[in-house]
Amino acid sequence: INKCINYFPNTTKLSFTGDWAPIRDLIDSSVPCIIALKQQLTEIVVEDVPVYFMDLVKLLSVAVNLKRLQFDLLSIDEINPVTVQQDVIFQLVSKTNVVKDLTLKCRGSLEKVELLFALCPRLQHFELHYDYTDFLKSLMKLILSKTNNNNRHLSSLCFIEEADETKENLKMVIKNDKLLDDYMVECIDKKVYVWW
């Protein structure tokens, strides 16, 4: 890893999969060696490796040009969601990161989504890969709220789970709660997309 700059000078994507140590260990040891690539690194994919929320914040503080993130396992267990947003590093990262595309493959919660929107306020596309039906209405209200400044750039969503039923539920929530006037909901390859 220490010589990765010499071997991979044009790297734009960094993937962590399977047998890696938790991201916390990597950020403190291996990633700083790689992060000399921070100016050109635009995508990080983490599969089957646990990511703690503050480690994500730390990672975004050094990899400043990331535009796309994907996580399989994101934990907010170790933090207080209210006080973490007052953290100096969190606030700096929130103001400076340029993440536009986020894929979350882990079990979702409204609290997690709120924190991710606060951390990445320039998101344009958000994709969820887990069963979210329990909080779909609240999630859509959060995402499509005209008063939520943390998601003002967001213009598309993708849900991967029970496409036809999800499509109808989304349309019903958007229509009944008058969340959007101009939008499109489509099923493509077992994925439900919402554009506005």
Which range, of 16-20, 35-39, 157-161, averages the lowest pLDDT?
35-39
Residue 2 has pLDDT above 60, yes or no: no
Q: Specify if 58 maps to a domain.
A: yes
Residue in 51, 48, 52 with CA at minimum distance from that of residue 19: 48
Q: Which domain holds residue 32?
A: 4-123
| pLDDT tens string 86-121 | 999 999 999 999 999 999 988 778 898 999 999 999
Task: Specify the pLDDT at position 85.
Answer: 94
**pLDDT score at 19:** 65
pLDDT band, residue 3 (cuts 50/70/90):
low
> 91 versus 18: which is more confidently predicted?
91
Q: What is the pTM of this model?
A: 0.84
Our count of domains for the chain comes to: 1
Asked whether 110 and 81 are in contact (CB, 8 A), the reply is: no
Q: Please, which pLDDT band fits residue 150 given cuts at 50, 70 and 90?
A: confident
- Spatial separation of the C-alpha atoms in residues 132 and 55, rounded to whole Å: 24
**With contact defined as beta carbons under 8 Å apart, do 112 and 136 qualify?**
no
- The residue among 134, 147, 140 whose CA lies nearest residue 170 is 140
DSSP per-residue codes, 118-164:
HH-TT--EEEE-S--GGGHHHHHHHHH-TT-GGGTT--EEEE-SSHH
Q: Does some domain include residue 26?
A: yes
- Specify if 87 maps to a domain: yes
Tell me: pLDDT of 157 over 90: yes
- pLDDT, one tens digit per residue, over 19-71 is 655 556 555 555 555 555 556 789 999 888 888 899 899 889 888 899 999 99
User: Tokens representing 177?
Assistant: 């709660």
Taking the CB of residue 178, how many other CB atoms lie within 10 A of it?
8
Lowest mean pLDDT among 63-72, 131-140, 151-160: 131-140
More confident residue, 54 or 5: 54
Residue 20 lies in a domain: yes
Directed axis angle between helix 53-62 and helix 110-119, to 10°? 20
Residue 105 lies in a domain: yes
